[in-house]
Amino acid sequence: MLKMTPTVLKNLFSKSSTRMYPFEVREPFPLYRGELFNDIDKCIFCKKCEIKCPSQCITVSKDKEAGTGTWICDPFACVYCSICVDVCPTKSLSMAPNHRKPSATRDMIEQVGKLKVPKKKKAAPKKD
């Protein structure tokens, strides 16, 4: 009997274990996978992320005539596994440790960037 009483008394006089949430927010842990960003200037539209993504929520397309590429991600289908971040060869994808804000409409993240024209490598000047 009364086994819980010491614990109850301790809880009564110790500080609360929950936070007053909307007013007091905990710092996110730096490794947390919260939101996916693409630095479109670095992206080379190689489609690696589209192929590897397990939820198939990324679509990459190139428009050769206009010289632009489009990277589309459906943030509502993304499972935040960070596989795409691992495989991206130019490291243009990154994860931010904050949650996405709730949204009432299903918006896609669509980013348009310029296609990189492969530079012709000049032969390195020979040293004499």
Partner 1 sequence: MARTIIPFGPQHPVLPEPLHLKLVCEDEIVKEAIPALGYVHRGLEKLAEIRDFNQMIQVVERVCGICSMLHSQCYCQGIEEMMGVEIPERAKYLRTVWSELHRMHSHLLWLGLFADAFGFESLFMQFWRIRERIMDLNEATAGSRVIVSVNVVGGVRQDLTPEQCSWILTEVAQAGKEIKAIQSTMLSDYTVCKRTKGVAALTKEQAYELGAAGPTLRASGVAQDMRQLKYAAFDKIDFEPVVEYDGDCYARGVVRFREALQSIDIIRAAISGMPQGDISVPVKGNPEGEIITRVEQPRGECMYYMKGNGTKFLERVRIRTPTFANVPPLIAFMPGLELADVPVAVLSIDPCISCTER
| Contact flags string 89-118 toward partner 1, x per CB under 8 A | ------x-----------------------
Residue 1's binding partner among ligand SF4, partner 1, none (Cβ under 5 to 8 angstroms by kind) is partner 1
Distance CA 17, CA 104 (A): 32
Residue 94 and residue 82 in contact, taking contact as beta carbons nearer than 8 Å: no
Binding partner 1 (rule: CB under 8 A), the pick from 25, 32, 61, 89 is 32
In angstroms, how far apart are the furthest CA atoms of the chain?
93
| Contact flags string 48-87 toward ligand SF4, x per CB under 6 A | xx---xxx-xx-x------------x----xxxxxxx---
Residue 94 and residue 43 in contact, taking contact as beta carbons nearer than 8 Å: no
Q: What is the dihedral of CA 57, 74, 72, 79, to 10 degrees?
A: -50
| Contact flags string 54-83 toward partner 1, x per CB under 8 A | xx-----------------------xxxxx
For residue 8, give both structure tokens. 């109850």
